[in-house]
Structure 1
Amino acid sequence: MTGHPRPDPVTWRSQGRFVASIASMRQLQLFNDRGGLAIGFDVLRSTMPDIAIAGSQNEAFSLWETRSSSGFVTKPKFNAQLITIRFVTSGHVIYRRRSGDVDGVPTHATLVNFSDLREVQAFGAFGAVSGTFSVEALMAAQVALTGIRDGTLPDLAPTAPVATPAMMALFLTLQRVQQQIQGLDSHDDLTFPLLKEILSYQLLSAWPRRVAPAPSQAQDIPSRSLRRALDYIAANLSRALTLADIAAVAGISVRSLQDRFRRDLGRTPVQVILELRLAQAHRDLMSPTKASLSVADIARSWGFVHMGDFGQRYRRQYGRTPTETRRASRAL
């Protein structure tokens, strides 16, 4: 790709639209064997995969949405001068980089240089919208924005709070473009370059610059204790969870646990647990392998015993009823 010899088409190829639904180890292996994307799934570290990917890619710009109830691990197939931004909508992700790990959660988007990346691990009930820009394309956008031709990009921070108006606008644009692309068999070549250009300008304008904090001000976002708590919740969503157990695993008090969740995620532990369980129910409603189960069976399997409450919570989170989701999944 850009900045390196072009890989074999089996390894990577431009695709106006790609869609994959992976619900078994065989499908995961077949997905890897077909190639076409810059990453491959680590099959040896996958268990009962449930992964859905939809997007579009070319040498300058790629855009895709990922949803997974099982979590996954991916690794780059080759070196390339690419920058990936990711907005996590549920769950969390860890980028393991040569220069140090970066965590992505719903309150903080991530930006990672592909050449610095060793692997990506997404944890259960994970959802995200992502975009990859070639460094060359971003540098061209930087020149157009500033008129300065110094051959460098701004030193962009590895994480960025989503709550700022500029970052929220970037996320909404990314999400809207991704949804529009999925409505077409192939993107319109007259439109796609303009969309890429607009997103490049938004990224360079909205994303915060890296600022080296004083040692006393350094923060771990999210903290290790929060990461342990989220990992424990993700691994035990189908079981009874108590705040005391989660806090014990995280190595902090219940009060500290609640404070960490409010500070770093903007939600309470109970809200996060409910959102993740709703996400699991959503995946099951969309999954062909769960088609024989009723909506009530799926709801109960994730701890929702009152169907009225489940339906209201589900509609608030996904904008439609569980039955409408089931009907839409069967129409695909």
Structure 2
Amino acid sequence: MTGHTRPEPVTWRSQGRFVASIASMRQLQLFNDRGGLAVNFDILRSTAPDIAIAGTQSKAFSLWETRSSSGFVTEPKYNAQLITIRFVTSGHIIYRRRSGDVDGVPTHATLVNFSDLREVQAYGAFSAVSGTFSVDVLTAAHAALTGRSDGTLPDLTPTASVATPAMMALFLTLRRVQEQIQAIECHDDLTFQLLKEVLSYQLLSAWPRRDAPAPSQAQDIPSRSLGRALDYIEANLSRALTLADIAAVAGISVRSLQNRFRRDLGRTPVQVILERRLAQVHQDLMSPAKASLSVAEIARSWGFVHMGDFGQRYRRQYGRTPTETRRTGRAL
């Protein structure tokens, strides 16, 4: 399909958060005209549409949840170098591609290159969580993950069983990020930014390949690499951290970084980052110098914007709520 390589804002635009509920043909037309998404929506038959969409989109990464009792049809508005993954939670979807049709059902997730797509049909009582990555982002993630910079992507299969632990973990991360999008008004949550990066690594690691690479011998990584990684994390806790940057400082690939943390610390890099940020919050809550700041202000200063998620994490780590910690600090 030919189209715009650089779409106008009326065709597509970045949106930190979007929500739409379509219940009439008039609303459907207005949404297509103003929605700013990469596809046009239509319905399968002459009945009133019932389509709900909520998510976020940018040139690098988009994530949304779709629910529809009426079903729908979408067609791309323009060519784009994007890869879309979709986990169907109910119903059935068909991708009509130049290279052949692909079916999406609750037992099998789908991965489709946007430039290969002609049309998508979703049937009644449909719901799904979907994510779109730019090819450039996934190529860079593949290079960071493997330490190879050949500018290529692995040949991923168009469908994948969701029964494997790795695929289920990918789905749960996708859903969690989607829930956070709906719970916050801004994306200055440092954890949210890190989760988006992790999603690209999870996708490349979990999704099956047409020609699976032979397993390689695990390389022993000098302990100084782990030390450099931990030092960098500690020095940048209040800033947006990425695993690619941490791995680069440590002089290893992202995959090696993850393996080293799991092997030597029993935790992932993300878990370590969150634990250290929570420790800083804990220290500030106990500090008389921070007594004038609210719990929310202290949490935000360390990158926690979603207060419900922050409170649960804090209680798991310290066995009490942030407010209880604040009271203890004042009593000392």
Contact 1:110-1:159 within 8 A present in 2 as well: yes
Mapping of residues 183-198 of structure 1, within 5 Å? 183-188=183-188, 190-198=190-198
Give, in angstroms, the shift of residue 210 of structure 1.
1.7
Give, in angstroms, the shift of residue 110 of structure 1.
0.1
- The separation in 2 between residues aligned to 1:5 and 1:46, in whole angstroms, is 33
Give, in angstroms, the shift of residue 186 of structure 1.
2.8
- The separation in 2 between residues aligned to 1:191 and 1:63, in whole angstroms, is 16
In the alignment, what sits opposite 2:293?
A: none
Structure 2 counterpart SS, 1:53:
strand
- The separation in 2 between residues aligned to 1:46 and 1:28, in whole angstroms, is 13
Give, in angstroms, the shift of residue 193 of structure 1.
3.4
- The separation in 1 between residues aligned to 2:147 and 2:9, in whole angstroms, is 36
Larger radius of gyration, structure 1 or 2?
Answer: 2
Mapping of residues 73-84 of structure 1, within 5 Å? 73-84=73-84
Contact 1:138-1:153 within 8 A present in 2 as well: yes
Judging changes above 3 Å, is the alpha-carbon distance between structure 1 residues 167 and 46 closer, same or farther for their aligned structure 2 residues? farther
- The separation in 1 between residues aligned to 2:110 and 2:47, in whole angstroms, is 26
Mapping of residues 226-265 of structure 1, within 5 Å? none
- The separation in 1 between residues aligned to 2:191 and 2:136, in whole angstroms, is 20
In the alignment, what sits opposite 1:132?
A: 132
- The separation in 2 between residues aligned to 1:194 and 1:139, in whole angstroms, is 18
In the alignment, what sits opposite 1:159?
A: 159
Structure 1 counterpart SS, 2:84:
strand
- The separation in 2 between residues aligned to 1:131 and 1:194, in whole angstroms, is 16
In the alignment, what sits opposite 2:12?
A: 12
Contact 1:68-1:124 within 8 A present in 2 as well: yes
Contact 2:84-2:131 within 8 A present in 1 as well: yes
Give yes or no for the alignment of 1:67 onto 2:67.
Answer: yes
Give, in angstroms, the shift of residue 43 of structure 1.
5.5
In the alignment, what sits opposite 1:104?
A: 104
- The separation in 2 between residues aligned to 1:82 and 1:174, in whole angstroms, is 17
- The separation in 1 between residues aligned to 2:196 and 2:157, in whole angstroms, is 21
In the alignment, what sits opposite 2:150?
A: 150
Mapping of residues 1-332 of structure 1, within 5 Å? 5-42=5-42, 47-188=47-188, 190-211=190-211
Task: Give me the TM-score of the superposition, normalised by structure 1.
Answer: 0.61
Judging changes above 3 Å, is the alpha-carbon distance between structure 1 residues 29 and 85 closer, same or farther for their aligned structure 2 residues? same
Matched residues, number? 209
> Could you list the per-position Cα deviations for residues 29-80 of structure 1 after superposition, in whole angstroms to 9, with x for gaps in the alignment?
1111113100111368563110100000111000000000000000000000
Structure 1 counterpart SS, 2:169:
helix
- The separation in 2 between residues aligned to 1:74 and 1:146, in whole angstroms, is 35
- The separation in 2 between residues aligned to 1:121 and 1:188, in whole angstroms, is 35
Structure 1 counterpart SS, 2:174:
helix
> Could you list the per-position Cα deviations for residues 131-185 of structure 1 after superposition, in whole angstroms to 9, with x for gaps in the alignment?
0000000000000000111111000000000000000000000001101110112
In the alignment, what sits opposite 1:265?
A: none
- The separation in 1 between residues aligned to 2:46 and 2:178, in whole angstroms, is 27
Task: Give me the TM-score of the superposition, normalised by structure 2.
Answer: 0.61
Structure 2 counterpart SS, 1:21:
strand
User: Identity over the aligned pairs, expressed in percent?
Assistant: 85
Give, in angstroms, the shift of residue 191 of structure 1.
4.4
Contact 2:43-2:71 within 8 A present in 1 as well: no
Contact 2:143-2:149 within 8 A present in 1 as well: yes
**Structure 2 segments unaligned to the other structure (5+ residues):** 213-332
- The separation in 1 between residues aligned to 2:141 and 2:211, in whole angstroms, is 22
- The separation in 2 between residues aligned to 1:191 and 1:23, in whole angstroms, is 35
Contact 1:28-1:43 within 8 A present in 2 as well: no
AA in 2 matched with 1:8? E
